[in-house]
A and B are shown apart, each in its own frame.
Chain A
Amino acid sequence: MKLYYNSLKIAGLSAILLLTNCSKDFLNKPPEDQIVTANFYKTEEQVVASTNILYGLPWFNFNTKAFWAITELSGGNGRSWSGDVVNFSDLTVTGDNQLLYSAWESLYSVVAQSNMLLVNLPKYVDPSISQTVVNNALGEAHFMRGMAYFFLVRLFGAVPIIENNFEHVYDPLLPRHRVEDVYQFIINDFTFAEANCYSKLRTSTYANNAHVSSGSASAMLAKIYLYLKDYPKAREKSELVINSGEFKLYGLEVPGTDFDGLFRTKNNNNEESIVALQWTVDLVKYGVQNAVQASFALNSTITGTGDGWAVLGPTIDLQRAFEPGDIRRKSTIMLPGDFYPEINQAAGGFTVPEDANAQGTRAAIKKYVVGTPADNGGIGAMQKTANNTYLMRMAEVYLVHAESILADQESTSDPAALASFNKIRRRAGLGDKPSITQDDILQERRVEFAIEGDYWFDLGRINRAKAINIMNNQERGTYSNDNPPEIYSAHINMTEDKFLFPIPTSEVAKNPKFMEAPVPYEF
């Protein structure tokens, strides 16, 4: 009996052990490597940092391949045979296209993350934090959401407007909203940002320039009003930005700089930058970096990291678009014999070889090509660089300004328009124009912003017949291997319906409402 008694004692001890485990906390396991949202936004630093994400990761899939494949290939600035992007080159894109999907999901990532911040920040912010700080953060979120919608509406036309993702989780089949409503939504967002973001003056302390400002929002509004052909407002906003002196034209208004310097990693967030995506290099994480150099660079001598696939080549048409003496050409396109001292510095610079031939163009892309990790302060890896992607820079405000004055006229020699327009030409090393036409503006915009993803959208907003005519006459062919080379000419057959892309099939499959006509949005 004693034995049993002993064993009962042991069992009793185990039972006590067991009951101590029953404490309530045993089943409470909050995340250990993430911050519970309700516990954040408690200091000013936390609120300021809360918007950082909107400048990076969510944009990654758009930036990496989609933006240049969709805009530069379709627009005729670039060409490619590569099976993954060729369908943009000849405008035979279907809704199954992976890059359209990348763009769609990435832009809606930006919308989702912005909305999360817009909902969570007011809900959880510590009351001791000043309203100005909170409003600035909310302004940035509105700004980035507007930015994403501006791309969406230009790529796909009518798309669903989402202000609070939580509200639709259990009723997800949204209709598409009318294009005009999407634009109104965008204007509202930027107007909020203009009213709530800090006013800034861009200085040579570049790190302080990274977040957008009230002036950034004004600049974007100028561009959007231009798209809506609201010329007085476009002029008003562009003049507001020009007169504020917040941003300066690199190479013209900033001593010791030049146009080419805009595209160096070390000049991220320079005085000309209005809004830019902020990349970094993390070897472990994929998606926080700029990956375009991998596709653009002619070879891996330039990148030093095994990539450099020359998937994009500048079309013969783009090569011809540069006037002689335009310094922007060498910063945009590499031609055989060009020398770039800043690339592959370890080997004394990079000379473009005579047989350079990206996609049959006998040239290669230079813009956004920044060289080896060593050329960039040791930062970089395969498909990874840390140079910013411009979403807008000051040069565009000047061109928007000039165009807003030109408005619907054939041409103008208005001094204010000429002053803005010729600033851009002067910086490019070109002579002033005495008067400017629609074609001049389009041409100037094309060469200034080539490979920055804008020309396709310009073609989409000008007179349709004219745009079709321009596109059908673009030389999208290749050079032969002969010397001198012959041109294997290639042209596309542009039609009215190709200016917008189909919404990705996988989305349409999930939401049959996308097959219906767009509906008005209730603001």
Chain B
Amino acid sequence: MLCLCSILTHIPAYAQVKNIKGVIHDDKGNALPGATVKVKNLNVAVVTDADGKFTINVPAEGKVLVFSFIGLETSEEPIGQKTHFDIILKTAARNLGDVVVIGYGSQNRQDVNGSVSSVKAKDIENLAQSSIDQMLQGKAAGVMVTQNSGQPGSLTSVRIRGVTSLTMSNEPLYVIDGVQISGDGRNASSSGRSVVSGPQSLSGGGQTALSPLAALNPNDILSIDILKDASATAIFGSRASNGVVIITTKKGKNGTGRLNYDGYYGIQQPSKYLDVMNLRQYATLENELATAYGVEPRQEFADISLLGKGTDWQREIFQDAAMQNHSLSFSGGKDGVNYYLSGGFMDQDGIVIGSYFKRYSVRANVDGQVNRWLKVGTNITASRTKENITVNDLKEGIVSLALQQAPDIAVYNMDGTFAGPEAGKDDGEGNENPVAKALSVKNWVTRNKILGNIYADFTFSKDVSFRSELSGDFNFAGNTIFKPTYKWGRFENKSATLYEGRNNSIFWSVRNYLTYHHVFDKHSITAMVGHEAMESSWEGISAMRQGFYTNDIYAIDAGSVDGASNGGYKGSGSQQSFYGRVLYDFNNRYGLTATMRADGSSKYDQIAKNQWGYFPAFAASWKLYNEPFMQQINKVVNNIRLKAGWGVVGNQDIAGFLYGSSLAAEPTGMGTGFRTARFPNPDLKWESATQTNIGIDFSVLNERLFATVEWYSKISKDFLYQLPLPTYLTGAPDYNGGVAPPYVNLGKMHNQGIDVTLTYKTMPGKDFNWSSTLTFSQYKNNVQELYLKDFDITKTLTSGFLSFPLTRTIEGQSMGLFYGYKADGIFKDAASIHDQPRQFGADFGEANGETWLGDVKYVDVNGDGEVNELDRTFIGSPHPKFTFGFNNTFSYKNIDLNIFLQGSYGNKILNLTKVSAGGLQRLYTNQFADVADFYRADNTDTDIPRARRGDDNPNLFLSDRFMEDGSYLRIQTVNLGYNFNPALLRRLHLTRLKAFASVQNLYTFTKYSGYDPEVGAYNGDALQLGIDNGRYPTPRVITFGLNAEF
């Protein structure tokens, strides 16, 4: 401001001047104070006042006025006879001038040598999503975002350049205004438990991981920078192997204060219903199953024609649900102090009845220039979220139950209470009423979070500055589960139970770093060294009582003291680091980045000297377009820039003290028992990923088409992996009394891929503008080494009452491939059946347990004349061949339209709902309508196997019968906005007003037969990708909203 004023005072006087007035706005209609108005080729300039107005005296020789403002496109206008100019400066179309946050500093985009994608506030505004991780979907190349569940507030998996680690978490590190937050909703590296902490017998299990980012209000976000390759992430060292997402929140700007309101209201709808049997179809099936099983048919189904349609359970558990989001912010700056204050409120009901998510948040970002050498500031947000979790993603979950529950069961009894199968009427095979289950069992999670930092920037000289920063992340979460007394048919609970869990975690870090920046001649150098110490600690207690006399009071004291129980846990971890970085540029042509970080972590054994890990990285770039010999080429292909980088980053996302041996206390009938918790491994050390990145940026068609193409190769090794020992060495999972296998450093994996971003923009026109961005990401994953020869990692799934290998990872293949039998139709020919290989040791015949006509004919893969366990093979890959996002923005005068498509190609989904709701293994369980055509003596022209009773039946073995193509193309967002005229707004004392309507998840083109092909990773586990076990489907959302600025 000071220097701008000084320019004003230096305007020389000229004769024959022409007085010109005007006003400058940005493209959102905001008046621009401090914009520069200059007469071209003359030393005459003024700046605009607080209202964006200016007056300039132009000498006679002045022909053209130049209007400019930092971050906006400069505009030139011939003066001619005009004396008044109403100028709108557009946001800079090219990203070349953008500032990219790279961690412990920032850089201009064209100088960044590593691979960094940026998402701006504008790219994610007005999206009806509760948390920012979901909003990244399709927005950046190389970033694969899948929503693991449609439950509001649930965990989203974000994979930056493929799957890096075999350990539980492949989520990136989030750095929010300098505060590091793990994206792992399971907290594997700290307390090892989700906030949904109640016993599974009460909470029901399923997916319990919640999004750690749900606490942030997306409206507060200014920009998101995604560091993808190791040369970019290495500065975050040990926590960076899955990539780093740097989130910067909004700051106040100098000038008049602004008041912003952003809000929307929306309706969410289930986007699909599956075709299950109605009562008549079901009754017919039950009669046929009775014949097949050899039991008495049910009397009430003797005459099908008397039956109606019965209960449509899907329509009972799904609902149209409202969501709304309101955010109000105040920002501005004066006399060296900038402020941004905001408050947000979000309320989202789930499309599965009973589920909801609410968020209240406030933020204060303030910084002030204390004096010439000191600047201090703080960014703090406090938020509270409350949600009700419904049970899903397992056979007993609400969605699965809605598919399986029999249509002859009513939702309610005549007296309004919940109904259910009657005692003695269902042979113990019936299911719980999913409506009752969803609405009666409360599973509330409240999370209170305070996250923020305070910092001081010292400027020692023009070149040297020092930053000291203290960050904290304080979380106080509670989980209340209440299971009331109920009677749903034969399912009766006479004693209500209340669980109260309180989980606290505290993270703090102290960071100090010194930066030196100097430009001499053609050299520009920026060097930084620093130190950082961080510690996190966590603790929790829980209490549980039963014997409540009422279902209305959720207070622990209201329960009976008999048998009251409690529990607790606590722990802590720490890390300290030294790091340094040199950025060097020569002649604006050659750039070089060198980074080194050393991290010491409490996760590793001090005595074994494995605590410290060292993470170097280098990157270089060459701005070809600045070379003299490129002048001719620049006319066709502009802005060619090459870059290459190499670096090593680490991972330490494991629990503490895995290197040592400890005893866990467990109650027994004879007093406290001491269980050996795990096999220790003092040699445990850092997991590392080495990545090479080569990229090119260029533009063609007169800077209308921009392209960034990057190739990477990432080798991760020494995975921190819990050795999947055979059960005979470990016993059951540790919570069931076994000894947890040791964590080891294991294997080597290669990910190789290409990220492409293409952006096309029309030249800024008067009325019509169009821009499209296509992001394309492709990776190939190959496991090069595992622990031992013949070693494999087999993930076993326990679904209902079966337990079988589900995915298998071996050397030379991608990780987590589906593993099972190959089916070759069903047996149909009695004459030849005896010539077939025996299956699973059973004879061919009609007796119980024997293989007969209508049974699945499995392929004898190894050709040994028998079908058995050895014939399991790889039956599909959950990894997509590529994923893409296609974003299109059109604007015509005041109207803008955004259409965003997104999808995935070539991945397989294991549809386990086909086992539970299509297996024909039980009576009293509804099934998909198409299985009515199952094989029986009078219906042989079919591929659907015969009905066999019992879950443990070879027709239901995991085979390619349950594999489906998971490719899809989704119309993710269509957003239509109208910007009201600035002239009109000024009368209303508004600077900006936009109204919009949008549809999210409008339509999905897919062959997948389940609800939603976007299945994600079960609880974020990289080895359990693409498994649909009754997933909470993602809704379609229709929203209407406003953005207003005063």
CB neighbours of B572 from chain A (8 A)? 29, 32
* B655 closest partner in A (C-beta): A31
Mask of A70-111 contacts with B, CB within 8 angstroms, 1/0? 000000000011111111001111111111011011111111
In contact, A27 and B606 (Cβ under 8 angstroms): yes
A447 nearest CB across to chain B (Å): 26
Task: Return the contact of A60 from the options B491, B728, B736, B952 (Cβ within 8 A).
Answer: B736
User: Which residues of chain B (484-537) have a CB below 8 Å from chain A?
Assistant: 486, 490-495, 497, 499, 510, 512, 514, 531, 533, 535
Known: A7-B460, A112-B738. A286 touches B802 (CB 8 A): no
CB neighbours of B494 from chain A (8 A)? 300, 304-306
CB neighbours of B486 from chain A (8 A)? 306
A282 lies within 8 A of chain B by Cβ? yes
Task: Return the contact of B565 from the options A54, A283, A382 (Cβ within 8 A).
Answer: A283
In contact, A381 and B495 (Cβ under 8 angstroms): yes
CB neighbours of A377 from chain B (8 A)? 562
In contact, A93 and B952 (Cβ under 8 angstroms): yes
A489 nearest CB across to chain B (Å): 11
B372 lies within 8 A of chain A by Cβ? yes
Task: Return the contact of A49 from the options B460, B491, B672 (Cβ within 8 A).
Answer: B672
Task: Return the contact of A299 from the options B423, B461, B732, B801 (Cβ within 8 A).
Answer: B423
B796 nearest CB across to chain A (Å): 5
In contact, A29 and B427 (Cβ under 8 angstroms): no
In contact, B606 and A28 (Cβ under 8 angstroms): yes
CB neighbours of A304 from chain B (8 A)? 494-495
User: Which residues of chain B (986-1001) have a CB below 8 Å from chain A?
Assistant: none
In contact, A507 and B727 (Cβ under 8 angstroms): yes
A390 nearest CB across to chain B (Å): 13
In contact, A81 and B429 (Cβ under 8 angstroms): yes
CB neighbours of B724 from chain A (8 A)? 510
B424 lies within 8 A of chain A by Cβ? yes
User: Which residues of chain B (520-564) have a CB below 8 Å from chain A?
Assistant: 531, 533, 535, 542-547, 560, 562-564
Known: A22-B576, A30-B660, A211-B670. A83 touches B737 (CB 8 A): no
A227 lies within 8 A of chain B by Cβ? no
Task: Return the contact of B562 from the options A3, A96, A378, A510 (Cβ within 8 A).
Answer: A378
How many of chain A's residues have a CB under 8 angstroms from any CB in B?
138
CA gap between A480 and B571 in the complex, in Å: 60
In contact, A50 and B495 (Cβ under 8 angstroms): no
A446 nearest CB across to chain B (Å): 24
B855 nearest CB across to chain A (Å): 12
B760 lies within 8 A of chain A by Cβ? no
CB neighbours of A492 from chain B (8 A)? 848
User: Which residues of chain B (473-488) have a CB below 8 Å from chain A?
Assistant: 486
Task: Return the contact of B726 from the options A278, A286, A381, A511 (Cβ within 8 A).
Answer: A511
User: Which residues of chain B (445-475) have a CB below 8 Å from chain A?
Assistant: 456, 458-461, 466, 468
In contact, A383 and B736 (Cβ under 8 angstroms): no
In contact, B957 and A96 (Cβ under 8 angstroms): yes
Known: A49-B672, A112-B738. A283 touches B428 (CB 8 A): no
In contact, B662 and A37 (Cβ under 8 angstroms): yes
In contact, A210 and B669 (Cβ under 8 angstroms): yes
CA gap between A26 and B537 in the complex, in Å: 13
CB neighbours of B497 from chain A (8 A)? 283, 381-382
CA gap between A90 and B294 in the complex, in Å: 13
In contact, A81 and B427 (Cβ under 8 angstroms): yes
B954 nearest CB across to chain A (Å): 7
User: Which residues of chain B (417-431) have a CB below 8 Å from chain A?
Assistant: 423-424, 427-429
In contact, B669 and A388 (Cβ under 8 angstroms): yes
CA gap between A463 and B525 in the complex, in Å: 89
In contact, A34 and B662 (Cβ under 8 angstroms): yes
Task: Return the contact of A288 from the options B492, B666, B741, B849 (Cβ within 8 A).
Answer: B666
CB neighbours of A488 from chain B (8 A)? 295-296
B73 lies within 8 A of chain A by Cβ? no
B632 lies within 8 A of chain A by Cβ? no
Known: A81-B427, A505-B804. A104 touches B950 (CB 8 A): no
B98 nearest CB across to chain A (Å): 31
Task: Return the contact of B429 from the options A82, A173, A508, A510 (Cβ within 8 A).
Answer: A82
In contact, A8 and B429 (Cβ under 8 angstroms): no
In contact, B805 and A509 (Cβ under 8 angstroms): yes
CB neighbours of A3 from chain B (8 A)? 371-373
* B568 closest partner in A (C-beta): A33
CB neighbours of B892 from chain A (8 A)? none
User: Which residues of chain A (164-183) have a CB below 8 Å from chain B?
Assistant: 165-166, 168-174
Task: Return the contact of B849 from the options A90, A508, A509 (Cβ within 8 A).
Answer: A90
Mask of B190-233 contacts with A, CB within 8 angstroms, 1/0? 00000000011100000000000000000000000000000000
A38 lies within 8 A of chain B by Cβ? yes
* B611 closest partner in A (C-beta): A27
B936 lies within 8 A of chain A by Cβ? no
In contact, A160 and B728 (Cβ under 8 angstroms): yes
* Interface pick from B89-97, B675-683, B1010-1018: B675-683
B869 lies within 8 A of chain A by Cβ? yes
CA gap between A263 and B723 in the complex, in Å: 42
* Interface pick from A11-19, A188-196, A416-424, A427-435: A11-19
CA gap between A282 and B673 in the complex, in Å: 13
Residue from A14, A22, A36 whose CB has the most chain B CB atoms within 10 Å: A14
In contact, A109 and B725 (Cβ under 8 angstroms): no
CB neighbours of B295 from chain A (8 A)? 488
B724 nearest CB across to chain A (Å): 7
CB neighbours of B545 from chain A (8 A)? 283
In contact, B957 and A35 (Cβ under 8 angstroms): no
CB neighbours of A28 from chain B (8 A)? 602, 606
B822 lies within 8 A of chain A by Cβ? no
A52 lies within 8 A of chain B by Cβ? yes
A391 lies within 8 A of chain B by Cβ? no
In contact, A87 and B512 (Cβ under 8 angstroms): no
Task: Return the contact of B848 from the options A81, A92, A309, A508 (Cβ within 8 A).
Answer: A92
User: Which residues of chain B (953-967) have a CB below 8 Å from chain A?
Assistant: 953-954, 957
CA gap between A85 and B297 in the complex, in Å: 22
A331 lies within 8 A of chain B by Cβ? no
CA gap between A480 and B542 in the complex, in Å: 49
B833 lies within 8 A of chain A by Cβ? no
In contact, B738 and A382 (Cβ under 8 angstroms): no
B730 lies within 8 A of chain A by Cβ? yes
Task: Return the contact of A172 from the options B468, B670, B725 (Cβ within 8 A).
Answer: B725
CB neighbours of B490 from chain A (8 A)? 299
In contact, B468 and A91 (Cβ under 8 angstroms): no
CB neighbours of B872 from chain A (8 A)? 509
A523 lies within 8 A of chain B by Cβ? no
* A8 closest partner in B (C-beta): B460
B573 lies within 8 A of chain A by Cβ? yes
CA gap between A180 and B724 in the complex, in Å: 30
* A313 closest partner in B (C-beta): B428
A120 lies within 8 A of chain B by Cβ? yes
CA gap between A60 and B738 in the complex, in Å: 11
Known: A92-B952, A279-B669, A355-B424. A169 touches B199 (CB 8 A): no
CB neighbours of B726 from chain A (8 A)? 172-174, 507, 510-511
Q: A52-B668, A285-B666, A383-B201 are in contact. List 6 more A-B contacts (CB 8 A).
A: A8-B460, A31-B571, A81-B949, A92-B842, A165-B730, A169-B725
Can you pick out 23 interface pairs between chain A and chain B where the beta carbons lie within 8 Å of each other?
A3-B372, A7-B460, A10-B458, A14-B468, A27-B600, A29-B574, A29-B656, A29-B657, A34-B677, A49-B674, A55-B670, A56-B668, A58-B675, A58-B736, A60-B737, A81-B429, A102-B732, A107-B731, A112-B731, A282-B667, A300-B492, A373-B547, A509-B805
Chain A to chain B: the 10 pairs with minimum beta-carbon distance, closest first: A109-B731, A378-B562, A278-B669, A306-B493, A58-B737, A92-B849, A53-B673, A84-B801, A56-B668, A52-B673
Instruction: Using CB atoms and an 8 Å cutoff, list the residues of chain A in contact with chain B.
Output: 3-4, 6-8, 10-11, 14-15, 17-18, 21-22, 24, 26-38, 40, 49-50, 52-61, 80-87, 90-99, 101-102, 104-113, 116-117, 120, 159-160, 162, 165-166, 168-174, 207, 210-211, 268, 277-288, 299-300, 304-306, 309-311, 355, 357, 359-360, 373, 377-383, 386, 388, 480, 488, 492-493, 497, 504-512, 515
